Structure 1
């Protein structure tokens, strides 16, 4: 067990020092209200700083999320644009072969269907129906010719225009 006899004088010396410090600091403060106002002011200042920093951090996080969303939308739009462009190149090849050649190599129509499937994966729902209508018209024209012997361009006019309008809407190019 520890002896407490030697600690009493040390405790009294520390207490005397503390009293002297309090007297000196009390002399510099004119009133206890000054201490109270300082505490209130410090609390309010801390609250304001905390609130401002919270609002600023939320604003920065919101901006970062918006930038990420816009970048993601731009990537999706670019993937759609590329898929539409590749599909149109294949559709043009089918149109050319079906219009001018008796020999119709199956690779041409297979390329069209491949591009069709790639586009269908990245396209929105509003592009799916016009895409299907256009590719079906191309496929039928490629294998069977046009109904009633009409020129191919006339047979493909409506499905091609409907697809073109839907593709422009898909890419936000509809003015």
Structure 2
């Protein structure tokens, strides 16, 4: 099945003013650190490591569900659908997290980025994120989970991606993912 061709998109003045995207061999990309206001101490180790590696990044302030969901956020969630799909209810914090990632995906599309590296503010990065980006890791697959737990994969799908390990085809959702690379087309698909 062929993917539809990407259409030309104009940037909003907001997106053009906030443009801190980098240009690499694979195209335009950015690093987003998903965080919440008041979580300055939580993000210090990650920001220090990104700075040490010379990786430019943007703080992306997500939806805060710690005190419940706003009426606007409630309009975007489907609690009965979630219960059918997951066979359990999601917490307001989980919904807020999902809505935050959806907002990042919309930003990737609006800013016409070819790819992005998305990191939770508590991601513990090895000394490798800079090397991953330099190796073209953002452009290898539509989406790469960099840190995850409880994920099912197709065992026969492991393609080598030295020195980072293997790329496995994921089946279903993962849990506790604190970082991922996502392409423009995958971000648009995830927002649908």
TM-score interval for Structure 1 and Structure 2 normalised by the shorter chain: under 0.3
TM-score, normalization: structure 1?
0.25
Higher helix share: 1
